[in-house]
Amino acid sequence: MPFVRIDALRADTDRLDALGRAVHEALVETLGIPPDDRFQVLVGHDGVTSTLRHDTYGGIQRDEGIVYIAVTLRAGRAPEAKQALYRRIAELAHTYAGTEPRNVFVTLTENASADWSLGNGAAQYLAPDRTRGMPGSGANS
- Where do the structural domains in the chain lie, given as residue ranges? 3-126
54 pLDDT above the threshold of 50: yes
The reported pLDDT for the residue numbered 141 is: 22
Distances (CA, A) of 132 to 6, 39, 87, 111: 30, 20, 36, 21
Q: Which of 38-42, 129-133, 135-139 has the lowest mean pLDDT?
A: 135-139
133 pLDDT above the threshold of 90: no
Kindly list the catalytic residues: 2
CATH 3.30.429.10 fits 3-126, yes or no: yes
111 residue type, one letter: N
Q: What is the mean pLDDT of residues 111-118?
A: 93
The reported pLDDT for the residue numbered 129 is: 58
Q: In the 8-state DSSP scheme, what is residue 108?
A: E
Mean pLDDT, the chain, rounded, equals 90
